[in-house]
């Protein structure tokens, strides 16, 4: 617990903001403030408590901690000598952090009720304190903007990792199966030849192995099951054993009793079983190769989307920017949370190219913030997000609309204010929409929001490319 300390005017002059002040001002601070000694481990304020005191930290250090997603994380650290806490003209009313003394501290605490009298006693000191507040707001804004960007990057990275994991796992699984099949193929073909198969019968068998039609792909699960059962019955009638896996593989290659009958009847009875197994292995191998190709294409597409999203191969200046391409690459990177929350996306794009002079990476951050907010606004049961683009005079208009519950009327006027958030502690910084607004303004554009239950729409206007 803090204990009362004994301080002199000379003790206060170690703080830069208090230097070169008249002695009577320093004496006034000592007379109206509360001098304290606080050993390491002392909690000087807690989240949710009223922020009522200016703190003049003369010795020691204070560490601030915030709750982030259920975990306590360090944020700012105050080292003596400095002034912190609430400052004159500050609108701060409640602290969101835990303040803990980490090195034995000595401080002077001044209640905000004394600020009007302080302004009368020393306008110069109040002016200095207002300057400190401006510096603190700028630094806090930079820190929060950086954290908001990192948080958005973390969400995108998690979604991208999930998206990459699926095709990567498919390639690994298909490669293992392909390795097994290619090892068994020559042995089965050797059995076919050892059974006395005439050489003139091999071309027909090889032709079936190169069969690439996939009529079964359009069948429903029930229809496929019926076809497999019919083919199994036919194979058993031909004296073939272990027909379950065999029938599935043959049907996946588009082969049925009609196509297999002429070739199978021309083979010796002892060659039919290994011939069908070899044939099924070849068809399955072809399918696995196609699976690997498709998975590789998907990975290449994801990498391409990341490259388009970040525009890491382009300079940071204003360049001709395709708005539709930026929206599509952002949607691609957000595909995992969209699927996870069962959200339907409707693209209502203007015809043709919609291009402006802009910074593609910065604009993609705008689309990410708007879409991320729309995703968060929709219920767990899903919903619809509609992205529309239009040419509006000399401007390109991009609107992101969701059919969620809407933004309350008392919240709507504050939606673009820095640090304003309706999300629980640790889940939002209140910087996302402010960052988006500033990026749009830097492009000579504007952003607006309208909301009612069932329809919330953010619209961005950007000057068209000349």
* Higher pLDDT, residue 226 or 38: 38
CA atoms within 13 A on the CB side of 226: 5
Domain with CATH 2.60.120.10 in the chain: 3-121
Lowest mean pLDDT among 230-234, 244-248, 339-343: 244-248
Give the per-residue pLDDT at 426: 42
Q: Write down the mean pLDDT value for the chain.
A: 80
Query: 230: burial class by Cβ within 10 Å (0-12, 13-18, 19+)?
Result: middle
Across 348-373, average pLDDT: 87
pLDDT at 427 > cutoff 50: no
pLDDT at 332 > cutoff 50: yes
Topology of domain 3-121, per CATH?
A: Jelly Rolls (2.60.120)
User: Widest CA span of the chain, in angstroms?
Assistant: 116
CATH number, domain 314-463, options 3.20.20.120, 3.30.70.520, 3.30.565.10, 1.20.1250.20: 3.30.565.10
Give the per-residue pLDDT at 430: 44
Partners of residue 67 on adjacent β-strands: 72
pLDDT at 169 > cutoff 60: yes
Confidence of residue 389 (pLDDT cuts 50, 70, 90): very high
* Higher pLDDT, residue 180 or 129: 129
Give the per-residue pLDDT at 310: 58
Domain with CATH 3.30.565.10 in the chain: 314-463
208's tokens = 């079936």
Chain segment 77-117, per-residue pLDDT in tens: 888 898 988 888 887 788 878 889 999 999 999 999 999 99
pLDDT at 272 > cutoff 80: no
Q: CA–CA separation, 450 vs 399, rounded Å?
A: 11
Chain segment 408-421, per-residue pLDDT in tens: 888 888 788 765 56
Q: Which residues have C-beta within 8 Å of that of residue 216, sequence separation ≥ 6?
A: 224, 227, 251, 252, 254
CA distances from 393 to 104, 360, 396, 462 (A): 64, 22, 8, 11
Confidence of residue 425 (pLDDT cuts 50, 70, 90): very low
Chain segment 294-331, per-residue pLDDT in tens: 788 777 777 776 666 655 445 557 888 889 988 988 88
């Amino acid at each position: 617990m803090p204990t009362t300390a004994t301080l002199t005017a000379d003790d206060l002059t170690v703080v830069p903001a208090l230097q070169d002040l008249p002695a009577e001002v320093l004496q006034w601070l000592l007379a109206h403030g509360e001098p304290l000694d606080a050993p390491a481990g002392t909690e000087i304020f807690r989240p949710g408590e009223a922020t009522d005191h200016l703190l003049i930290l003369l010795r020691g250090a204070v560490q601030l901690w915030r709750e982030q997603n259920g975990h306590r994380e360090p944020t700012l650290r105050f080292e003596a000598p400095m002034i912190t806490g609430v400052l004159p003209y500050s609108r701060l009313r409640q602290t969101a952090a835990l303040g803990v003394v980490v090195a034995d501290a000595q401080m002077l605490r001044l209640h905000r009720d004394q600020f009007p009298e302080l302004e009368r006693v020393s306008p110069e000191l109040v002016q200095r304190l207002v300057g400190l507040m401006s510096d603190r707001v700028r630094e806090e804004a930079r820190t929060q903007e950086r954290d908001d960007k990192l948080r958005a990057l973390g969400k995108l990275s998690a979604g991208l990792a999930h998206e990459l994991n699926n095709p990567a796992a498919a390639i690994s699984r298909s490669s293992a199966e392909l390795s097994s099949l290619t090892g068994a193929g020559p042995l089965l073909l050797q059995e076919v030849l050892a059974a006395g198969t005439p050489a003139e019968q091999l071309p027909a068998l090889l032709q079936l192995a190169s069969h690439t039609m996939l009529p079964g792909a359009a069948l429903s699960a029930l229809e496929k099951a019926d076809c497999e059962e019919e083919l199994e019955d036919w194979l058993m009638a031909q004296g073939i054993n272990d027909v379950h896996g065999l029938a599935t593989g043959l049907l996946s290659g588009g082969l049925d009793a009609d196509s297999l009958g002429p070739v199978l009847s021309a083979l010796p009875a002892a060659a039919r079983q290994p011939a069908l197994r070899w044939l099924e292995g070849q068809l399955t191998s072809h399918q696995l190769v196609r699976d690997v190709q498709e998975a590789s294409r998907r990975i290449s597409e994801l990498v391409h989307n990341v490259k388009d999203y970040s525009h890491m191969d382009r300079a940071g200046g204003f360049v001709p920017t395709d708005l539709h391409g930026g929206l599509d690459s952002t949607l691609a990177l957000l595909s995992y949370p969209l699927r996870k929350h069962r959200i339907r996306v409707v693209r209502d794009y203007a015809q043709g190219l919609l291009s402006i002079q802009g910074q593609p990476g910065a604009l993609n951050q705008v689309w990410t913030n708007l879409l991320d907010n729309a995703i968060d606004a929709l219920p767990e049961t899903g919903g619809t997000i509609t992205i529309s683009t239009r040419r509006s005079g000399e401007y390109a208009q991009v609107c992101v609309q969701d059919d969620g519950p809407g933004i309350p009327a008392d919240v709507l006027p504050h939606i673009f204010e820095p640090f304003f958030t309706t999300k629980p502690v640790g889940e939002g910084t209140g910087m996302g929409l402010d960052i988006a607004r500033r990026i749009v303004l830097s492009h000579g554009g504007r952003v607006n929001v309208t909301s009612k239950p069932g329809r919330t729409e953010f619209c961005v206007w950007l000057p068209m490319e000349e």
